[in-house]
């Protein structure tokens, strides 16, 4: 039971009694946990909420006891992070920057990795984190089946998904993969390219799904036909394999690869076939990995702000913990096109 100091409340025929934390919560229109967080000066409470609580405390002349303060500070301040077992640039960057944001908010992060997307494999990971009394779970989604599996579990704590596209059923944060892809394709269209091929990522990856959707929609908006996209696995090898099999008599004038690593393989394969990049084929990637500026030629690509994504995700965690009834959606973080030497105006224009 929560121990709190009390001051007198009541009126009329109701006997006077000392106010407790629940009286403050009722007057302020918040949970008693939020009142405790205001009392203990946790930084995650919204300013407007903090002001309402402080006004209620003043009005009721309420003061918490030292015992109550000690009880609240027994929180673990731990967040569980479920990340894919991959060293791919995007997921690794998200995990790094989220951990930085959590540390800035005075939270620790307990990380586990998932190998496959089945419920049977996800459940032990979730349970291991819950056994460490994490206050929320963050899931970096690289396969839509993983998110579905976690939602089948009753975690009992807030679950925040980092996943591209609109996802029903859980708070979600993301970088705007769809508009990033449209910006990349628009750049090629503005250079006069009309045959713009796409090498997509894995079919189950939310990022790949959104980037392919952006490619199709931008071509459609420009009155250009979208052929059948290739499918890679994010690796340079899959990019090399794709570009090695393109028919010589119907080569595209530009290729939009769904990530920089596949773009590297595409460039290598085109060169091995005696084709010049960008004079014969322009190439655009996605991610702006640190090596992209040093490709030969330097790669035109789409840059993602992973630091802002980490901060936004931690903000959503804090809102979910402090204001569990808040269902506001987060606006996806915009991307930037970085133009380098791998794209030029089409020869046919």
pLDDT value of position 294: 97
pLDDT value of position 88: 85
Distance separating alpha carbons of residues 80 and 98, to the nearest angstrom: 11
Phi–psi pair at 203, nearest 5 degrees: -65, -25
- Please tell me the least confidently modeled range out of 69-83, 260-274, 325-339: 69-83
Residues 239, 240, 241, 246, CA torsion sign:
positive
Residue 258: count other Cβ atoms within 10 Å of its Cβ: 33
Position 190 pLDDT exceeds 90: yes
Distance separating alpha carbons of residues 33 and 138, to the nearest angstrom: 21
Distance separating alpha carbons of residues 192 and 346, to the nearest angstrom: 5
Residues 307, 309, 313, 318, CA torsion sign:
positive
pLDDT value of position 2: 37
CATH 3.40.50.2300 positions along the chain are 78-174+306-332, 177-304
Confidence at 6, pLDDT banded by 50, 70, 90: very low
- Please tell me the least confidently modeled range out of 62-66, 170-174, 280-284: 62-66
The CATH superfamily label for domain 7-72 reads lambda repressor-like DNA-binding domains (1.10.260.40)
Residue 340, judged by CB atoms within 10 A of its CB (0-12, 13-18, 19+), counts as: middle
* 163 DSSP 8-state letter: -
Kindly indicate whether the domain formed by 78-174+306-332 is annotated with CATH number 3.40.50.2300: yes
- Tell me the DSSP string of 2-60: -----EEE--TTSPPEEE-HHHHHHHHTS-HHHHHHHHTT-TTS-HHHHHHHHHHHHHH
pLDDT value of position 1: 33
pLDDT value of position 342: 98
Distance separating alpha carbons of residues 102 and 79, to the nearest angstrom: 8
Residues 242, 337, 192, 270, CA torsion sign:
negative
Contact 95, 113 (CB under 8 A): no
**Top-ranked range on mean pLDDT: pick from 30-39, 69-78, 111-120, 334-343:** 334-343
CATH 1.10.260.40 positions along the chain are 7-72
Contact 199, 255 (CB under 8 A): yes
Residues of the chain with pLDDT > 90, as a percent, come to 58
How does the average pLDDT of the chain come out, rounded? Answer: 86
Tokens 């899959």 correspond to 238
- Tell me the DSSP string of 183-228: HHHHHHHHTT---EEEEE--TT-HHHHHHHHHHHHHHHHTT----P
Contact 270, 277 (CB under 8 A): yes
pLDDT value of position 33: 67
Kindly indicate whether the domain formed by 177-304 is annotated with CATH number 3.40.50.2300: yes
What lies within 8 Å, CB to CB, of 146 at 6+ separation is 82, 84, 114, 117, 122, 139
Residue 336: count other Cβ atoms within 10 Å of its Cβ: 12
Residue 97's alpha-carbon distances to 157, 192, 319, in angstroms, are 22, 38, 18
Model confidence pLDDT, tens digit, residues 259-283:
999 999 999 999 999 999 999 999 9
Tokens 């799904």 correspond to 209
Distance separating alpha carbons of residues 303 and 334, to the nearest angstrom: 9
Q: Name the pTM for this structure.
A: 0.77
Distance separating alpha carbons of residues 45 and 322, to the nearest angstrom: 6
Task: Give 114's Cβ-side CA count (13 Å radius).
Answer: 32
What lies within 8 Å, CB to CB, of 214 at 6+ separation is 177, 178, 179, 180, 181, 182, 184, 185
Greater confidence, 33 or 142?
Answer: 142
Model confidence pLDDT, tens digit, residues 9-55:
554 444 456 777 778 888 999 877 678 778 777 766 888 899 999 99
- Please tell me the least confidently modeled range out of 60-64, 250-254, 331-335: 60-64
pLDDT value of position 17: 62
Confidence at 107, pLDDT banded by 50, 70, 90: very high
**Range 200-220 average pLDDT:** 96
pLDDT value of position 120: 67
Residue 17 — left, alpha, or beta (φ > 0 → left; ψ -120 to 50 → alpha)? Answer: beta
Position 166 pLDDT exceeds 90: no
């Amino acid at each position: 039971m929560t121990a709190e100091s009390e001051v007198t409340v009541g009126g009329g025929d109701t006997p006077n009694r000392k106010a407790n934390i629940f009286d403050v919560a009722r007057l302020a229109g918040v949970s008693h946990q939020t009142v405790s967080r205001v009392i203990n000066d946790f930084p995650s409470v919204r300013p407007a909420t903090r002001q309402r609580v402080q006004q209620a405390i003043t009005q009721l002349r309420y003061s918490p006891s030292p015992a109550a303060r000690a009880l609240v500070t027994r929180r673990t301040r731990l967040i569980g992070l479920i990340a894919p077992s991959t060293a791919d640039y995007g997921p690794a960057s998200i995990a790094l920057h989220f951990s930085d944001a959590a540390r800035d908010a005075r939270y620790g992060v307990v990380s586990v990795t998932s190998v496959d997307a089945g419920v049977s494999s996800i459940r032990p990971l979730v349970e291991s984190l819950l056994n460490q009394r994490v206050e929320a779970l963050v899931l970096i989604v690289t396969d839509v089946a993983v998110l579905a599996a976690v939602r089948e579990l009753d975690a009992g704590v807030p679950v925040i998904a980092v996943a591209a596209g609109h996802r029903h059923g859980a708070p979600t944060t993301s970088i705007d993969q769809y508009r990033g892809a449209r910006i990349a394709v628009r750049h090629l269209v503005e250079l006069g390219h009309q045959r713009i091929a796409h090498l997509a990522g894995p079919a189950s990856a939310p990022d790949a799904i959104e980037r392919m959707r952006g490619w199709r929609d931008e071509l459609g908006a420009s009155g250009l036909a979208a052929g059948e996209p290739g499918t890679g696995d994010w690796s340079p090898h899959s990019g090399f394999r794709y570009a090695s099999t393109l028919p010589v008599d119907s080569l595209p004038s530009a290729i939009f690869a769904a990530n920089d690593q596949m773009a590297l393989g595409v460039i290598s394969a085109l060169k091995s076939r005696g084709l010049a990049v960008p004079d014969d084929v322009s190439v655009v990637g996605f991610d702006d990995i640190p090596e992209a500026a040093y490709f030969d030629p330097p790669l035109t690509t789409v840059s993602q702000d992973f630091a802002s994504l980490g901060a936004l995700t931690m903000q959503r965690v804090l809102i979910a913990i402090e204001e569990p009834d808040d269902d506001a959606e987060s606006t996806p973080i915009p991307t930037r096109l970085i133009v380098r030497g791998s794209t030029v105006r089409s020869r046919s224009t």
